[in-house]
Amino acid sequence: MRTDDVLSLLYTHKGEYLSGQSVADGLGVTRAAIWKAIESLRADGYGIESSKARGYRLESMPDLLGEREIRLGLDTRVIGKTVHALDETDSTNTYASRIAGEDAPDGTVVVAEYQSKGRGRLGRKWESPRGVNIYTSIILRPGFPPSGAPMTTLVASVALVRPVRELYGLDAGIKWPNDMLISGKKSAGILTEMSAEPDRVRHIVLGVGIDVNMPLNAFPEEIRDISTSIMLELGRKVDRAELLKRFLTELERCYFMLVNGESARLLDEWRELSAMLGKRVRVTTLTSVTEGTALDISAEGYLLLKKDDGAVATITSGDVGIL
């Protein structure tokens, strides 16, 4: 018997009492072994209430993103079956890219409590204080041509925004190409990196940084007015492991849709969750600044922008600001 087997039973029946005898019988061990496992879990920070008449009940879990916390109750077939849970790394994307080159399997999840060199798009720094947010990278091996890669960022956007809306009732939305907004402020970013041959993607590393329990004073002063966290919007701290598992579950659903050729349905979901379609926006690239109306998203995942002269431009990359 593993201690995690006891935890899994308590988690499955969270909020209910389970008698020590029923747990022992179910796992084929003695009640003394169950008591020892319970004490070990308590030492690890799990709040477990005990009653002589009723048994044991899981009351609370530690605010950790370890392999145990991530895999507990995660009902997926591919994503999260292999987890690398790190206390600290330079960047989860850098780590994931390295192990992807060493044949880490499809759906491998890398998560860290702290990043010393967290990265955003265009080489920007992503602030990564310890123990308050989610910093994760997922290795995907979809097997399609490189032209399909932009859709993975859209997939991740849908997979992230939907559980934030459902779990917390917040006004979360997608800003193309890679941000989650809550009440108009940035609260998450996605960094997609790819290794490919001319006709086939070797792997995609999907990096996601979510500002979960980030206090306002932890944001750099220059972005404090345009950034937020789920905690700041909700007024209370949230369970990071619960959010991460819901995201991974949604990501698998959307990923399977993508590889099974259901891109049109995914695009419809993206449109439903968009924070910018129909709004006036400014698109900034390395060489130009263009304003217009965010008209739609193309079949390839590109932004269709109706410019002021009436022409429709296909935007393949750039920073978008909602005006």
Q: What residue segments make up the domains of the chain, in order of their start?
A: 3-60, 67-273, 280-322
User: Does the reported pTM lie above 0.85?
Assistant: yes
The whole-number pLDDT of residue 286 equals 83
Cross-strand partners of 312: 306
Give the pLDDT confidence score for residue 120 in this predicted structure.
65
CATH number of 280-322: 2.30.30.100
Matching fold, domains 3-60 and 67-273: no
Residues of the chain with pLDDT under 70: 1, 120-127
* pLDDT score, position 124: 66
The top-level CATH class assigned to 67-273 is: alpha beta
As beta bridge partners, residue 188 has: 180, 210
Residue 300 to residue 288: CA distance in whole angstroms: 22
- Phi, psi of 249, deg, nearest 5: -65, -45
Bond into 177 cis (ω within 30): yes
Arch. (CATH architecture) of 3-60: Orthogonal Bundle (1.10)
Contact between 116 and 88 (Cβ < 8 Å): yes
For residues 30-57, b (16+ Cβ closer than 10 Å) or e, as one string?
eeebbbebbeebeeeebebeeeeeebbb
Give me the pLDDT at residue 122, please: 54
Instruction: Tell me what the pLDDT averaged over the chain comes to.
Output: 93
Residues 32-58: pLDDT tens digits? 999 999 999 999 999 999 998 899 999
